[in-house]
Structure 1
Amino acid sequence: MSPELLFTLATLALGSLGAAFFALYGLAWLASRKDHDVAITLSSQDNDIVFLFDDEKLVNATPAAQSIMAAAANVGSDWSRLLSVMISKFPTLQRDISELADCGSMAIESRDESAVMKCEWRNGLARLTLFDRETEQAHLDLDRHSLMAMEQELETLRATTEHVPFLVWRENEDDTITWANSAYMSLADSLSDEAETQSWPPVSLFNTQLLANAGSKESRRLRLKDAAGEDHWYDVFRYKLGKTTLYTANSADRTVKAEETLREFTQTLTKTFSHLTIGLAVFDRNRQLALFNPALSDLTTLSAEFLITRPALTTFLDRLRDSQMMPEPKDYKSWRHEMAELENAAEDGTYEEIWTLPGDKTYRVSGRPHPDGAIAFLFEDISAEMSLTRRFRSEIETGQAVLDSLSEAIAVFASDGHMVMSNSAYTSLWNVTRKNDSAEISISDATRVWNAKCAPTPLWDNIRDFVRASGERNEWIGQTRLWDGRRLNCRFVPMPNGQTLVGFMPESRTQTMRPVLRPQASSSHYVEM
């Protein structure tokens, strides 16, 4: 045979083999396609709840199964959505289904044994069939109105939980989340990696074991770090519901920030008050010591260890009494009554007393109201001030006694014309009563008394001008006559700080009358009246 004929025969043979191969491949593909279509096709008689999954994608479902998926949370893949509905009833579903490809089929009991999930591996697909044993045993007939009412209630509850601004979720006994609202899912999604697909169950954001011993109305403040590493705080509450647990979490960031601000403010006040010599004690609305400074311990001799324990107001006052750092009462009952009045007066801001203590110590104690029902007590050591006051009072009394011993009638007037002091001879001469507050008597009042008991004279006009005059002044003297005929010698002496001393010395009837003199323009000579 020629080479050309052999080449032609070989070409025909190869073409026939290729055509046969493609024909067989096409038939195999069509058969596989047919098997796949048969596998994902559910019979119209399938009234059970059946799901067909290709990995995490739902490829088919019966109408009843589609109703369940419609009620599932919108969380990632189809498999995650189914888990969000089923995991509370089948807590081991996610773990068991991972072995389905190896074992081929399995039946998973529900937590309460009221249902069974039958799982089969067919042509690379997972077929899940849900059987409800209670439904098989008894059918409940619901009228249309009852069903509508239940659906409306379900919609109301779902809308409520989805729109509340705080986190709500439920966990089963092994701490797996079985349900969560949108606020929780959004927060969990924001804390996950951007490339990570949202799945079910969501990550547990909090260590709920810390609430194991918490009561139903007792919260725990838990910390949560965001993606940037910043701390956020939540007040988490725990409610036991059968075999599951309901949790709610409210953001406490503002509260924590306010507490930190208050703590910093308190520390600032403490540092500021630590340099004061006045003892400060602030009691909160519960009447417990909330703030004090070192001067309080120094003045009251109460130890810092005792003050740090935040004693109650009554305990604080008892300790002061035991330490003899407050006036000793006549009896304990009356003292308790006085302490109750002390607290009430401090609330009104009207409490202020002088405590005279043993050892020549004197304290000024005042009470002031503070915001939110708190009260503050101030302890000021005024021993030196009281000692100085007593010394001044003694000196004044001594000076008054010296003036009273003089036979000359003396009165001292301030620069504004009011009487500062007078002696006994003055009150006797003019027949007036000495007042406790001499400032109530002016030079005009005094000259009216003098004028009424003396013969007419321009001397009183001159003294009024002299007392109120400013600048440099010179001492001068004058005379007038009392209505009983006696001559009255008068002297007017400038004193420091603009004060003026007026002295009166009546002559006896046997003395010779001297002419009355009046000053002329700050000179030292006299004019006869």
Structure 2
Amino acid sequence: MDLAHALAAGLGAGGAALVGGYLLQRTRRTETGAVVAARSDWDLAEMLVTDGVLTEATPQARRLLDCRRDERLGWRDIRAALEPSFGPLPDAPPRSPVILQALDDPQTLLRLTPEDAELRMTITTPPTGSGDLLRYRTDQRELAQLRRVVTRAPMPIWQTDADRRVVWSNAGFADLCAQAGLPDHSVPPFAILPDIGEEYHVTRSSIGSRAENSQAWFEVQSYRLPDGWLHYAQSIDAVIHAEIAQRNFLQTLTRIFAHLPIALAVFDRDRRLVLFNPALVDLTGLAADFLSARPNLLSFFDMLREKRMMPEPKDYGGWRDTLRDVIAAASTDQYIETWNLASGLTYRVTGRPHPDGGVAFLFEDITAEISLTRRFRQEIEVTQAVLDSLDDAVAVFSQLGVLSFCNAAYRDMWGGDPDGSLADTDIADASRLWQAGCDPSPIWPDLRDFVLTLRDRAGWDAELTRQDGQTLTLRAEPLVGGSTMVRFSGPVGRPGASLAESRQARA
């Protein structure tokens, strides 16, 4: 913004110096020391207009009009060059003498003197000292530099008067008008209406590009001047496209989250709620208008506590400190807790870091999962208790031949605790243990094949003799899902098919 002010101030000061310099006349000192104005053709700004066309002009006059020696300007061009310094001129060359004062210097005069069909125009100025001349030359160099800077500025710059008409603009503004399809550069393509008391105004607006059939977006910054406004336009197409993409992405996420059974609450870096889905209303019982008001994180958890949708803290005074630890843990992706509510529901609450310093909390109702787990655990405990109550030693192997569980009689008979071991016990390990504790028998390879086979199977019995002389009956029975139960009983085993009969049934 400092560069913008410097450009505006520099242009104004340079322009004034240039116009004043055009009107300057050199001075010379007489022998008595008095300063008088030299009136040579080089110093005099005088021009002759014949039938409304410039026919003669001194070098100073041509510098003021910014025209070549052989160029013939019309009255309209002469008026446009002189009106910024002397104010409105007549629409046509006057037929009677007229004297006009410069707007910013009453001692500088423009004399319009009709002479038959001609009009002589003479500009007289007060004497000028050498200091003013040197200052003028310095300002000329600065003005040339500022002109180059403004001409090459990558943004449109223009100035409007009190009537909102363009009185000055750079090349970027001309390109902007061409893009908007406006041949008249005196009217800006944007409707900028600052308030009366404003010194600075920002406007976002767009123009249609006829060539590309698209919209070009600009942010216009306007600064008040004594006689109007100075405007700077900057392209913000990238910003607009990013905002549209972000809004579309957010809408897509909202539609996706709307169908999720997991409640979602996203807080920004200021810890205010910026996104939630309908499941949050369903699971927590919080009012939608409360959530839409973007509460902060502490208010959100306070409302959860009031609704009894979170475990009641033992010390609520220390709960705020605990909550800060929760937020810190969630910001580092290290927060996950299970909330057992007084209503019997069970929620899993997970905290995850969100981009740009935010944090997201997910609330999942795992009541059914917890109930199923508890019921399954209870069934396992009952099954284990039933097996432990049996006198027979029982071992169950999975379809892959891994020992799933065994009962107390098995542990007493064969020693050790396979369930408490970190390493899995498979049928090969177990059969080696059994084989080592019994007299030689040909059933062990068949037993291992029976446990690992994927074909239809039929249960079978075999008689074994332990090395201590005890007689055992081994019973191998297929179970649901490809599992196998191996049972060892006393001398009077459960009636069943022999190994040979089982082989014959499988064959």
Once residues 210 and 111 of structure 2 are traced to their aligned partners in structure 1, the CA distance between those partners, rounded to angstroms, is: 39
C-alpha contact (below 8 Å) 1:418/1:438 kept by paired residues = no
C-alpha contact (below 8 Å) 1:473/1:522 kept by paired residues = no
**CA displacement, residues 75-123 of structure 1 (integer Å, 9 cap, x when unaligned):** x999579858964x67xx35x655985986353552x557756363746
Where in structure 2 are the equivalents of 1:45-194 lying within 5 Å? Answer: 45=41, 47-49=43-45, 61-70=57-66, 87=84, 93-94=87-88, 97-98=90-91, 101=94, 105=98, 107-110=100-103, 113=105, 116=108, 118=110, 120=112, 122=114, 136=127, 138-140=129-131, 150-171=139-160, 175-188=164-177, 191=180, 194=183
Q: Which moved more, 1:492-501 or 1:171-180?
A: 171-180
**1:416 maps onto 2:400 in alignment:** yes
C-alpha contact (below 8 Å) 1:69/1:82 kept by paired residues = no
Note closer, same or farther for the CA distance 1:243–1:410 as it changes in structure 2 (3 Å cut): same
Note closer, same or farther for the CA distance 1:459–1:114 as it changes in structure 2 (3 Å cut): farther
C-alpha contact (below 8 Å) 1:214/1:238 kept by paired residues = no
Alignment partner of 1:359: what SS? coil
Note closer, same or farther for the CA distance 1:54–1:256 as it changes in structure 2 (3 Å cut): farther
**CA displacement, residues 113-159 of structure 1 (integer Å, 9 cap, x when unaligned):** 57756363746888766666xx646542556xx87765544333222
Shift in Å, 1:367: 3.4
Where in structure 2 are the equivalents of 1:350-361 lying within 5 Å? Answer: 350-361=334-345
The number of equivalent residue pairs is 459
C-alpha contact (below 8 Å) 1:418/1:439 kept by paired residues = no
Shift in Å, 1:505: 2.2
Q: Which moved more, 1:171-180 or 1:390-399?
A: 171-180
**1:447 maps onto 2:431 in alignment:** yes
Where in structure 2 are the equivalents of 1:162-241 lying within 5 Å? Answer: 162-171=151-160, 175-188=164-177, 191=180, 194=183, 202-210=186-194, 219-224=202-207, 231-240=215-224
- Structure 1: 5+ residue runs without aligned partners? 1-42
Alignment partner of 1:474: what SS? coil
| Aligned counterpart in structure 2 of residue 309 of structure 1, from 281, 288, 293 | 293
C-alpha contact (below 8 Å) 2:182/2:189 kept by paired residues = no
Once residues 440 and 404 of structure 1 are traced to their aligned partners in structure 2, the CA distance between those partners, rounded to angstroms, is: 21
Once residues 251 and 447 of structure 1 are traced to their aligned partners in structure 2, the CA distance between those partners, rounded to angstroms, is: 81
Note closer, same or farther for the CA distance 1:441–1:203 as it changes in structure 2 (3 Å cut): same
Question: 1:9 — aligned with what?
Answer: none
Q: Which moved more, 1:223-232 or 1:478-487?
A: 223-232
Once residues 482 and 382 of structure 1 are traced to their aligned partners in structure 2, the CA distance between those partners, rounded to angstroms, is: 51
C-alpha contact (below 8 Å) 1:172/1:243 kept by paired residues = yes
Q: Which has the larger radius of gyration?
A: 1
Shift in Å, 1:323: 2.2
Amino acid in the other structure paired with 1:221: R
Once residues 332 and 43 of structure 2 are traced to their aligned partners in structure 1, the CA distance between those partners, rounded to angstroms, is: 79
Amino acid in the other structure paired with 2:146: L
Question: 2:277 — aligned with what?
Answer: 293
Alignment partner of 2:439: what SS? coil
Shift in Å, 1:278: 2.1
Amino acid in the other structure paired with 1:497: G
C-alpha contact (below 8 Å) 1:454/1:482 kept by paired residues = yes
Shift in Å, 1:405: 1.6
Amino acid in the other structure paired with 2:344: D
- Structure 2: 5+ residue runs without aligned partners? 1-38, 68-72
Q: Which moved more, 1:247-256 or 1:406-415?
A: 247-256
Once residues 271 and 124 of structure 1 are traced to their aligned partners in structure 2, the CA distance between those partners, rounded to angstroms, is: 82
Alignment root-mean-square deviation, CA: 4.1
Question: 2:34 — aligned with what?
Answer: none
Shift in Å, 1:467: 0.6
Question: 2:20 — aligned with what?
Answer: none
Note closer, same or farther for the CA distance 1:305–1:148 as it changes in structure 2 (3 Å cut): same
Amino acid in the other structure paired with 2:112: E
Shift in Å, 1:353: 2.9
Note closer, same or farther for the CA distance 1:193–1:250 as it changes in structure 2 (3 Å cut): closer
**CA displacement, residues 41-66 of structure 1 (integer Å, 9 cap, x when unaligned):** xx963735456778997665543343
Where in structure 2 are the equivalents of 1:364-443 lying within 5 Å? Answer: 364-435=348-419, 440-443=424-427
Note closer, same or farther for the CA distance 1:99–1:375 as it changes in structure 2 (3 Å cut): farther
C-alpha contact (below 8 Å) 1:283/1:376 kept by paired residues = yes
Once residues 317 and 243 of structure 2 are traced to their aligned partners in structure 1, the CA distance between those partners, rounded to angstroms, is: 40
**CA displacement, residues 400-429 of structure 1 (integer Å, 9 cap, x when unaligned):** 221122222211110101111222222222
Shift in Å, 1:383: 1.6
Instruction: Provide the TM-score with structure 2 as the length reference.
Output: 0.75
